[in-house]
Amino acid sequence: MEIFYFAIICVLFIFAVIDLNVGVSNDAVNFLNSAVGAKAASLRTILIVAAVGIFIGASTSNGMMDIARHGMFQPEHFYFRQLMCVFLAVTVTDVVLLDIFNSLGMPTSTTVSMVFELLGASFAISLIKIGSNEGLEGVNTLADLLNTGKALEVIAGIFLSVAIAFFFGIIVQWISRLIFTYNYKKGLTAKIGIFGGVAVTSIIYFMLFKGMKGAAFMTPEIKAYLSENTLMLLGIIFVVSTVLMQLLHALKVNVFKVIIMIGTFALAMAFAGNDLVNFIGVTMAALDSVLHFAREAVPAGISADEYMMGFLNEPAQTSVWFLIGAGAVMVYALCTSKKAHEVLKTSINLSRQDEGDEMFGSSSMARKLVRAGMGFINGVNKISPKSVKRWVAKRFDQEHATLDEGAAFDLVRASVNLVLAGLLIALGTSLKLPLSTTYVTFMVGMGSSLADKAWGRESAVFRITGVISVIGGWFLTAGAAFILAGIVASIMYFGGPVAMVVMAALALFLLIRSHISYKNKKNEEVRDVKMDTVLNAEDPQEVWVALSSHTADTLCHALDYAADTYDGVIRAFAREDVRKLRTALDKIVEEKAWLKKQRRHETLGFRRIDKGLAFEKNTWYYLSSNNAQQILNTLTRITNPMKEHTDNNFRPLSPQYLEEFAPYQKRLVAVFRGISEVIRTGDFTNAEKLSSEGKWLKKEISNLRRVQTHRLQEDADNIKVAFVYLNLIQESHELLSEVRNVLRGCEKFFIDQTDCALPERSL
């Protein structure tokens, strides 16, 4: 049997490597966000600095492994087989859960996931022990088996991290912006030395008291010396760093970039050193357990169901080679993981200074928070002296903002994020507050974004919805980790070796499938090069060319989709295919959201072209865009009655109606496709002919509507299907009006008015 458990160790090591990959992919956002978002250096340079920090942090880590051995349960009350179920269940659950969050691009806490997986798995095994009355000598309650106090600390840490980090992020960034303004390069000589001294001192304090506190070289003597001489050491560091930063500024070195790179290194080192237990701690505990069992229990003839694991209360002694290997895997994951970039993208987009492609929609809670915030700001404005308001407004004037090309925010905010996050983490550690490092770094970034006026009225509701979603995901992590690990541990315990193998194989299968699905998804996503040009190009003429081309693509897509859907739902109704009708309604909703998103992008583009041109083209753009949206609304009004009629199994559309309407259906689809082709090619020579065709078809459909209305009055035909047919006729008439308006707007929008005067037509 011990051979089986050695095989389990091999599996655990495989999962540990996978866990290092998926864990670093999620945690990377915490130390890369500021440097990447501010474009402090090239991505390659940032990754090199972070990689060095990770490798040093992981290779010197030694003091954080005990939580996996006895942090969440009392090992002296558990048998060897029971804890092996716990360890394997935790590892299997962790890799799958973190991979899900990575695929969604959502940052979460690897510490919370590991802690609650340990708690959930040991909770399930504890219930089994109590139910079967196995090895309960000296145990009176469930609390004697578990360390519930630690779980309560973690939960409290979530609330503390969110509130404290967000509050101080707002305050410190607001003060920093008052000092530096958005044009921070002006008058920098008088401020940069002191700011740099404070920043570097804070980062070094963070490194000494948080990043290196678990390092192997941090002996009790060194820790005691640092503790006794903290103020003196910090004072020396402040003086030296202030002078050094002032000197670097005199030598034309960008001090903000130096601060950001030092902060990135410090945070990367701290995360690797302190969060390494989240990735390999359980595996190391399982390895020690198997080796101890083989050495002590097997020679004595004690079975896996009889040997108690009290030795896990002893301090962990992790081989330096394991630490170096873990550091190497983490560096590889950081440099190669594409999912890390997705998580990073979420955090940067939520803190971006300007408006753009918002990843999240609107929510009721976000709208209420925005209204409450606006009410608070209005209240403060009413009681503030006018002179103060004028001075603050001048300091927060963004007209001359200094922002590097492609940066989401400036170097001042990036520096504040890194320095404040490190300082709060170090302060919380020294005060023994259970702050989550992941939550601190994320919420500091969100608070500084709010203070920096990055959440304007046009974007605040979307950003707040995103923050709420991320915070909700944190609590979901805890609940999902607890429940899933408990279920997996129970299955493994009752199913024995077979269940352990099956669950491990299932986890590998889910990971492989997730990787394939993610890769396919990325291959299907076509990068919107035209919109990138619209949002990033400096030349207004270049922006206009890309914007007009993007608008044409959007409208062509909408018209082609409308033609296909219109034709498809009529055919599905004739065949009584309710599934296709339901699918069509769902797809229309998705298409509406897509079209709304494109319209928001294109509206942002109008702000970046020549104002005179924008004034000339705006009316015709919105005429076309609004009618494209109305076409989708009309398709909904056509499809919904058909779906309800078919879903209720009412009498189908008669062959007479189908034959009668077929020519109109065919010609309407042809008009849609013809107009789409005109817009796609930019050749409007056939526009008049298509518009006339649409006008004639509208008249013919009006005649058909009168015929159908008379039928309703005179015929004894089924009234339900007759009404659905009448609705189809009426809405088809409306579709022709809308598509002709799209064509009219496009003629005016795409053709230079100075070269071509187009005749007005009555629609």
Query: What is the secondary structure of 490-533 as a DSSP string?
Result: HHHHHHHHHHHHHHHHHHHHHHHHHHHHHHHHHHH----HHHHH
Interval 634-661 mean pLDDT: 90
Interval 67-94 mean pLDDT: 87
* CB of 484 closer than 8 Å to CB of 205: no
Q: What is the mean pLDDT of the chain?
A: 83
- The Cα 406–Cα 532 span in angstroms is 10
Q: What is the pLDDT of residue 429?
A: 62
Q: What is the pLDDT of residue 435?
A: 63
- Residue 433: band (very low, low, confident or very high) from pLDDT cuts 50, 70, 90: low
Instruction: Mention every residue, 6+ apart, whose C-beta is less than 8 A from residue 462.
Output: 358, 359, 360, 361, 362, 366
- The Cα 278–Cα 113 span in angstroms is 8
CA distances in angstroms from 101 to 26, 143, 420, 480, listed in the order given: 8, 31, 26, 12
- Residue 755: band (very low, low, confident or very high) from pLDDT cuts 50, 70, 90: very low
78: closest CA among 16, 37, 122? Answer: 122
Single-letter code of the amino acid located at 665: Q
pLDDT in tens, 564-578: 999 999 999 999 999
Interval 383-408 mean pLDDT: 81
Q: What is the pLDDT of residue 154?
A: 67
- The Cα 558–Cα 554 span in angstroms is 6
- The Cα 602–Cα 665 span in angstroms is 32
- The Cα 333–Cα 330 span in angstroms is 5
pLDDT in tens, 323-371: 888 888 888 888 887 777 777 777 787 788 776 556 676 778 878 888 8
**Residue 756 pLDDT more than 50?**
no
- Residue 240: band (very low, low, confident or very high) from pLDDT cuts 50, 70, 90: very high
Q: What is the pLDDT of residue 758?
A: 38
Ranking 282-286, 329-333, 395-399, 754-758 by mean pLDDT, the lowest is 754-758
**Residue 757 pLDDT more than 50?**
no
**Residue 147 pLDDT more than 80?**
no
pLDDT in tens, 23-37: 787 777 778 888 888
Place of tokens 């930019």: 682
Q: What is the pLDDT of residue 760?
A: 40
pLDDT in tens, 728-740: 999 999 999 999 9
Place of tokens 């504890």: 126
Q: What is the pLDDT of residue 754?
A: 35
**Residue 602 pLDDT more than 90?**
no
CATH code for 529-750? 1.20.58.220
* CB of 426 closer than 8 Å to CB of 206: yes
Q: Which two three-digit tokens encode residue 174?
A: 């607001």
pLDDT in tens, 666-709: 999 999 999 999 999 888 888 899 999 999 999 999 999 998 88
Instruction: Mention every residue, 6+ apart, whose C-beta is less than 8 A from residue 129.
Output: 77, 78, 82, 135, 136, 145
CA distances in angstroms from 684 to 5, 428, 545, 677, 747, listed in the order given: 75, 67, 18, 10, 7
Provide the β-strand partners of residue 79. 308
- Residue 3: band (very low, low, confident or very high) from pLDDT cuts 50, 70, 90: confident
What secondary structure does DSSP assign to 119-144, as a single string?
HHHHHHHHHHHHHHT-S-TT--SGGG
Positive or negative: CA dihedral 537, 539, 544, 546: negative
Task: Work out the number of other CB atoms within 10 angstroms of the CB of residue 235.
Answer: 12
pLDDT in tens, 185-237: 887 887 888 988 988 888 888 777 655 665 556 677 877 887 788 888 889 99
Provide the β-strand partners of residue 308. 79
**Residue 423 pLDDT more than 70?**
yes
* C-alpha radius of gyration, the chain, whole number: 32
Q: What is the pLDDT of residue 466?
A: 82
pLDDT in tens, 36-58: 888 888 888 988 988 888 888 77
Q: Which two three-digit tokens encode residue 407?
A: 């940066």
CA distances in angstroms from 183 to 131, 188, 348, 418, 718, listed in the order given: 68, 10, 21, 20, 73
For the chain, domain boundaries = 2-516, 529-750
pLDDT in tens, 512-564: 887 787 776 665 455 566 776 776 677 888 888 888 888 999 999 999 999 99
Residues 147, 499, 118, CA angle at the centre, nearest 5°? 15
Name the range with the highest mean pLDDT among 381-385, 405-409, 723-727: 723-727
CA distances in angstroms from 125 to 85, 176, 297, 312, 400, listed in the order given: 8, 52, 21, 17, 62
Q: What is the pLDDT of residue 717?
A: 60
- The Cα 276–Cα 283 span in angstroms is 11
Packed helices 320-336 and 255-276: angle between N→C axes, nearest 10 degrees: 130
Q: What is the pLDDT of residue 636?
A: 94
**Residue 21 pLDDT more than 90?**
no
Interval 605-632 mean pLDDT: 88
Residues 329, 335, 339, CA angle at the centre, nearest 5°? 95
Q: What is the pLDDT of residue 639?
A: 94
* CB of 617 closer than 8 Å to CB of 580: no
Query: What share of the chain in percent tops pLDDT 90?
Result: 22
CA distances in angstroms from 581 to 24, 139, 574, 576, 628, listed in the order given: 44, 61, 11, 9, 21
Single-letter code of the amino acid located at 757: A
- The Cα 488–Cα 506 span in angstroms is 11
Q: What is the pLDDT of residue 763?
A: 40
* CB of 110 closer than 8 Å to CB of 438: yes
Task: Work out the number of other CB atoms within 10 angstroms of the CB of residue 390.
Answer: 10
Q: What is the pLDDT of residue 761?
A: 38
